[in-house]
Amino acid sequence: MRALSEKVGAVAPSATIQISDAAKRMRREGIDVISLSIGEPDFATPEHIVAACCDALARGETHYAPSNGIPELLTAIAEKSRTGNGIPCEAANVIATCGAKDAIFQAMQACLNPGDEVVLPDPSWVSYEPCIQMAGGRAVHHPLRSPSFQIDDAILERVGPRTRMIVVNTPSNPTGTVLSRQSLRLVADLCQDYDLIALSDEIYEKLIYEKEHISLASLDGMAERTITVNGFSKAYAMTGWRLGWAVAPLPILRQMAKVQQHSVSHPPTFVMWGGVAALTGDQSCVEAMRREFADRRRYMLDEFGAMDMTVAPPDGAFYVFVQVEGDDMAVAEEWLHSAHVAATPGSAFNAPGWMRLSYAASLPSLKEAARRIRLWKSR
């Protein structure tokens, strides 16, 4: 066979999927593995959202829709972004996508030219770099200082003549860090001084325990250069629905719209009606899930604190990021095969020496996992 795409060939397979596949394999072999490697809420999608989607199906919302998304959804997203996030925008600035991941992929396709550089503060979520690479760009890594993982002045050193974009993720997967106003102001100044685009991934914004979420695009002068990415997967337990969005300045949005028109067309029509119900309906379901996550987070912090492990301040999302001794890949293997606990090594997020544990698992499972890790540590 002739050589295939070098661009795709250069992309690493997902380390998070590799570890969860290994855990699944062990389960099939009858081994009782506890998986703390999962990045999805373990709750059912709230009933009124499911009902709205079923109603849409029953009334025949099964045909093509406008490519940027149904107007009702775009209007609801714009309204939420203006009133909830302080982002100046209209429905015309919004595109509904097949998950937040698709919004990120489209944004990179829309903005980057071959050889363009994107500053990526690490630890960073696994799909940013592949999305940059598949658009012909190059990630320039900026390791953030642990354990606070806030943005610092040193990020300036990563900006060069080819820099086109910077990615921020608040609250962060994997660290749980919520970026402070000061961190975001640094990013905003950098973008304005060097004419950069910002991609701000805010998919975990509803899962915050102590701090306040600030949208980068709400800062002065940032709406015109920020692509805000968000979605339904985490806040409304809708991972399988594949529905997300981006809010962006019109020139960028028009480019993303072309990527969408010539690839997926749009998210499924009836799924978008579920999204309308999620955003316009009662929000108490979000708060109920957040409170449940808050209890589990408290438990994880107490447990791992008591084990004398350094934990990044988990302000948001549903992960604790803990420092481990030695090679994190080897520790992940050890935990999986000796303690039967699946967790994701920090190396998957360009942060060797750390381990990400998801608490999107029941409290009894978390307790059993902590017991096993404690036992493993004292072996």
Positions touching ligand PLP (CB under 6 A) are 39, 99-101, 125, 169, 173, 201, 203, 231, 233, 239, 244
**Other beta carbons less than 10 A from residue 218's beta carbon:** 18
Residue closer to ligand PLP, measured from CB, 40 or 327: 40
Nearest to 204 by CA among 233, 228, 179: 233
Query: Angle 269-280/71-85 helices, nearest 10 degrees?
Result: 30
The least CB distance from residue 201 to ligand PLP, in Å, is 5
Task: In angstroms, give the least distance from the CB of 97 to ligand PLP.
Answer: 8
Q: Whole-number minimum distance, CB 240 to ligand PLP, in Å?
A: 9
Determine contact, residues 91/75, Cβ cutoff 8 Å.
Answer: yes
E strand or H helix at 268, and its extent?
A: none
Q: Would you say 35 or 233 has its CB closer to ligand PLP?
A: 233
- C-alpha 78/C-alpha 67 separation (Å) is 17
Cβ nearer to ligand PLP, comparing 39 with 275: 39
Query: 137 near 118, Cβ under 8 Å?
Result: yes
56 versus 126: smaller Cβ distance to ligand PLP: 126
What residue number has its CB nearest to ligand PLP?
99
d(CA 146, CA 209): 20
Q: In what order do the strands lie in the sheet with 138-143?
A: 94-97, 244-247, 226-231, 197-201, 163-169, 117-122, 138-143
State the nearest-atom distance from the C-beta of 7 to ligand PLP, in Å: 21
* Residue with token string 């661009």: 7
What is the side-by-side strand order in the sheet with 319-323? 319-323, 354-358, 344-345
β-strand partners of 199: 167, 227
Q: How far is the CB of 231 from ligand PLP (least distance, A)?
A: 3
Nearer to ligand PLP, 45 or 239 (CB): 239
Smallest distance, ligand PLP to C-beta of residue 102, A: 7
